[in-house]
Amino acid sequence: MSESSKQATWGGRFSKGPAELMLRFSESVSFDQRLALFDIQCSEAHSAMLAEVGLLTVAEKDAIHRGLTEIRSEVEAGSFTWDERFEDVHMNIEQTLTERVPEAAKLHTARSRNDQVATDMRLFFKAACGELETSLKATLNALIDQAEKNQTVYIPGYTHLQRAQPVSVAHHLLAYIEMLGRDLDRVAAVKDQANWCPLGSGAIAGTTLPINREISAKLLGFVDADGNPRVTRNSMDAVSDRDVHMDFVYACSLIGIHLSRLAEDFILWCSSEFGFVDLPQTFCTGSSLMPQKKNPDAMELVRGKSGRIVGDLQSLLTMVKGLPLTYNRDLQEDKPPVFDALDQTLICLQVAEGVVSGLTMMTDKCASAVADPALLATDVVDYLVEKGVPFRNAHHVIGALVALAEEQGVALNALSLADVQSVDCHFEADWVDCFNVEVALAAREQTGMPGPKQVASQINYWKKRCQ
């Protein structure tokens, strides 16, 4: 037998080892070594369960645990030697362990790499969701701080990228806070989905050996709120299911998309055309040619990377679609998109947090943009509605006033009382009071509206939630 076939754990039925090209093609240890600590945890629980049911002696289990502890320290120290001839993280650890601890030849009893990798990934997802939650909260807190600071800075809100109605910067930022808040819920739901233990499903059809799946599940923390083990109900599904992968990357994609929209707003806002915000220099770059430039590269990269994360989701969806049950080696390709989605989402969240904490609202520019009286045209409609004019007619009347102001070359609120009364007799001298932004916002105090009290109470809600 060739060197490589002797080393492969599955070499028994082969007389030839894999070609060097095949080794390079099929290895996954270069990326799945990231699962090493979860794999060790999984092996500790599995061997403890095997000892519990009598498939290992306590001495054998202890020897295996000592070996695993040693490998864990080496992995943590970065001194463990990974060898692509052993294909993946599972075989690398098992082979090295068995070389050092002969008892480890029993470790793979009643286990397949198929249920092993499914379990490792679920442990990974639970931890990864925890990391996302921490980063989401940090970004949320940066947004909450800015919202709090900018409750009385008003800007035009936009629809169709046309100035629509005045809002406070706080209300605008609270929209993003809502999005990231939903992301928190989504990540929690993914964490719950991940919380089922596939270990014991074997390669496809379980095992004839008297294992106890509940023991392993409990040892690995796959338990419900009452501490009862949560084990998967169908061995074929358990080894081929990649739903959590897709749920997870979908959650990352939505975080990416939310951050991308935020980034786009900031990119617009920091242009000379808007000038609403000054982004922190530490997250901007200059031009190698044009000395005056200060470019919002961080925000552009956040926008760009969201496309990459959506691409990761697309890779997974396409990979799983049409796969026959159960495990197929295609599924090994599930890890790079998952790891990439997590890494990119985390760094985008951190960068967004940095940009948001360091930004300054340019209050003069905001004030001059929001001073456009046309932004309150709708409030003038409401003024007439309160006087009993049907909404459709009132809308028409104000439309006519906008046209008249345009014709006269004056601002909407500069039309004379006589002029506006000539269009509709319900107007009185107080009609110009409609053009005060503070008054307009103070009139919007129902839940979800941009009134200052409402905004302050939303800020308080989020402060409590994101502690």
Our CB check for ligand ARG shows the closer of 114 and 195 to be 114
Question: Per rule CB under 6 A, is residue 154 in the interface with ligand ARG?
Answer: no
Least Cβ distance, residue 35 to ligand ARG (angstroms): 9
Q: Count the residues of the shown chain that bind ligand ARG, applying the rule CB under 6 A.
A: 10
Interface stretch with ligand ARG, choices 148-156, 252-260, 326-334, 351-359 (CB under 6 A): 326-334
Q: How many angstroms separate the CA atoms of 444 and 438, rounded?
A: 10
Q: Name the catalytic one among 15, 79, 160, 272.
A: 160
Which one, of 64, 42, 63, 56, lies nearest residue 112 by Cα?
A: 42
For residue 275, give every residue at least 6 positions away whose Cβ sits within 8 Å of its Cβ, in sequence order, or none.
269, 362, 365
Which of 287, 368, 422, 457 is catalytic? The answer is: 287
Two tokens, residue 217 = 């599940």
Binding mask 269-308 for ligand ARG (x = CB under 6 A): ----------------------------------------
Nearer to ligand ARG, 26 or 271 (CB): 26
Q: How far apart are CA 43 and CA 40, in angstroms?
A: 5
- Of 92-131, binders to ligand ARG (CB under 6 A) are 113-114, 117
Stretch that binds ligand ARG, among 179-187, 226-234, 282-290, 328-336 (CB under 6 A): 328-336
Angle made by CA atoms 194, 94, 86, in degrees to the nearest 5:
100
Distance of closest approach, residue 310 Cβ to ligand ARG, in angstroms: 23
The alpha carbon of 207 is separated from its chain's Cα centroid by a whole number of angstroms, namely 38
In the complex, the smallest distance separating the C-beta of residue 94 from ligand ARG, rounded to whole angstroms, is: 12
Taking CB under 6 A as the rule, does residue 331 contact ligand ARG?
A: yes
The string of DSSP letters for 72-140 reads HHHHHHT-PPP-GGG-SHHHHHHHHHHHH-GGGGGTTTT--HHHHHHHHHHHHHHHHHHHHHHHHHHHH
- Smallest gap from Cβ 91 to ligand ARG, in A, equals 8
Site membership for ligand ARG, residue 41 (CB under 6 A):
no
Q: For ligand ARG, give the closer residue by CB, 30 or 460.
A: 30
Catalytic (active site) residue 245: no
Q: Angle 9-13-15 (CA atoms, 0-180°, nearest 5)?
A: 100
Find the length of the chain: 467
Q: What is the per-residue DSSP string for 420-432?
A: HHHH-TT--GGGG
State yes or no: is 160 an active-site residue: yes
Residues in contact with ligand ARG by the rule CB under 6 A: 28, 32, 88, 113-114, 117, 327, 329, 331-332
Report the catalytic residues. Answer: 160, 287
